[in-house]
Amino acid sequence: EVNMKILSIETSCDETSVAIVEDGRKILTNRIYSQIDIHKKYGGVVPEIASRNHITKLPYIIEDALEETQMRLEDVDAIGVTNGPGLIGALLVGLSEAKAIAYSLDKPLIGVHHIEGHIAANFLQYPELEPPFLTLVVSGGHSHLVLVEDYQTFKVLGRTIDDAAGEAFDKISRVLGFGYPGGPAIDCAAKKGDPEAIAFPRVFLDKKEYNFSFSGLKSSVLNYINSKKMKNEPIVVNDVAASFQMAVVEVLVKKTIACAKGIHMNKICMAGGVSCNSLLRQMMTDAAKEEGLSLYYPDPILCTDNAAMIGSMAYYNFINGAVSDLSLNGIPGLKI
């Protein structure tokens, strides 16, 4: 279909976002209301507070999106919405709104998998990009290596067996006193520290497998900090941040490159909040160049949670017949 405009809604965590995307590739508007400042004082996202803020903000964000594009709800061709994975209360707010719009205007409703949405952010950034490609998806809740065979076929080749990469960033940030969200704070502190100051472990698991594990690294950093405190020795937080970040990034880059070579895939994408990380971008760029692989990653605003990526994926679901009905439900642990 040509000139198909999808209104999309994303409320799976702490961003209330509404976008209008044309034919899966062109962003007409991408409004993001971040609740970070509200959750900051609790050190992380409080699910109930997230749901309540989605409820109060979502109608206004929709209005903003329509105003920016000079469109009316009647002008959109379909409604896309994240239905999992995510916080159930938060997901249900977006879903209820999407269903109400779809039902009242008799427009198609399209459920979107949040992780597939993250991957689709690359379609917005690179209009010529087409599957197949390998994607490293690293966010607050996920660390996956996903082979995108076509617009509807996603094969998970590796995943974290414990913590997600973003989860580790957030946890270490908290103990270093940087607060939430941890990724951007550690990224920034690491620039002022020495990545070789402390030899934190690199966990590769079985070399032939593409799974990740970050809980051992997390414990190792916590042990280091605790033992320093016990001995009353000073902690150079920037060095801890830089050394921790290097340990995460080295594993992510090596595993991704090994996976690409293992499956003979010369195209790599990155997706999810952690793919904003400046060291990850730089080291993956260098490694890809050295191996002769093409690398793609979206602008930071499209890496973290946003509705435009959901609108892109919704389009590919729609043209492949994956349309939902009003029984669409929120599924916190929705499998890819």
In terms of C-beta density within 10 A (0-12 exposed, 13-18 middle, 19 or more buried), how is residue 159 classed? middle
Nearer to ligand KG4, 100 or 188 (CB): 188
Nearer to Zn ion, 78 or 87 (CB): 87
Distance CA(41)–CA(45), nearest Å, equals 10
Count interface residues toward Zn ion (CB under 5 A): 2
- Closest distance of CB 231 from ligand KG4, Å: 29
Binding partner at 302 among Zn ion, ligand KG4, none, C-beta below 5 to 8 Å by kind: none
Give yes or no for residue 29 binding Zn ion (CB under 5 A). no
Binding partner at 169 among ligand KG4, Zn ion, none, C-beta below 5 to 8 Å by kind: ligand KG4
- For residue 153, the 8-state DSSP code is E
Site string for Zn ion, 285-314 (x = CB under 5 A): --------------------x---------
Nearer to ligand KG4, 211 or 277 (CB): 277
**CA contacts within 13 A on the Cβ side of 208:** 0
Nearer to ligand KG4, 321 or 333 (CB): 333
DSSP H or E segment with residue 150: strand 143-150
Strand partners, 158: 145
The footprint of ligand KG4 (CB under 6 A) covers 13, 139-141, 166, 169-170, 181-184, 187, 272-274, 276-277, 304-305
Distance CA(91)–CA(16), nearest Å, equals 10
Nearer to ligand KG4, 107 or 114 (CB): 114
Is residue 271 classed as helix, strand or coil in its secondary structure?
Answer: strand
Ranked by CB distance to ligand KG4, the top (closest) residue is 183
DSSP H or E segment with residue 312: helix 307-319
- Closest distance of CB 86 from ligand KG4, Å: 8
- Which tokens go with 327? 């029984």
Give yes or no for residue 167 binding Zn ion (CB under 5 A). no
Is residue 261 classed as helix, strand or coil in its secondary structure?
Answer: helix
DSSP H or E segment with residue 63: helix 47-69
Distance CA(222)–CA(217), nearest Å, equals 9
Binding partner at 84 among ligand KG4, Zn ion, none, C-beta below 5 to 8 Å by kind: none
114-143: contacts with Zn ion (CB under 5 A): 139
Binding partner at 195 among ligand KG4, Zn ion, none, C-beta below 5 to 8 Å by kind: none
- Closest distance of CB 275 from ligand KG4, Å: 8
Binding partner at 166 among Zn ion, ligand KG4, none, C-beta below 5 to 8 Å by kind: ligand KG4
Is residue 321 classed as helix, strand or coil in its secondary structure?
Answer: coil
- Closest distance of CB 308 from Zn ion, Å: 13
Phi, psi of 15 (to 5 degrees): -115, 130
Binding partner at 170 among Zn ion, ligand KG4, none, C-beta below 5 to 8 Å by kind: ligand KG4
Give yes or no for residue 239 binding Zn ion (CB under 5 A). no
Binding partner at 298 among ligand KG4, Zn ion, none, C-beta below 5 to 8 Å by kind: none
| Cβ neighbours, 10 Å, residue 87 | 23
Q: What angle do CA 74, 76, 81 make, to 5 degrees?
A: 120
Distance CA(235)–CA(220), nearest Å, equals 15
Nearer to ligand KG4, 88 or 319 (CB): 88
- Closest distance of CB 186 from ligand KG4, Å: 6
Q: Which long-range contacts (CB under 8 A, 24 or more apart) does 225-234 make?
A: 225/175, 225/176
- Which stretches of the chain bind Zn ion, using CB under 5 A? 139, 305
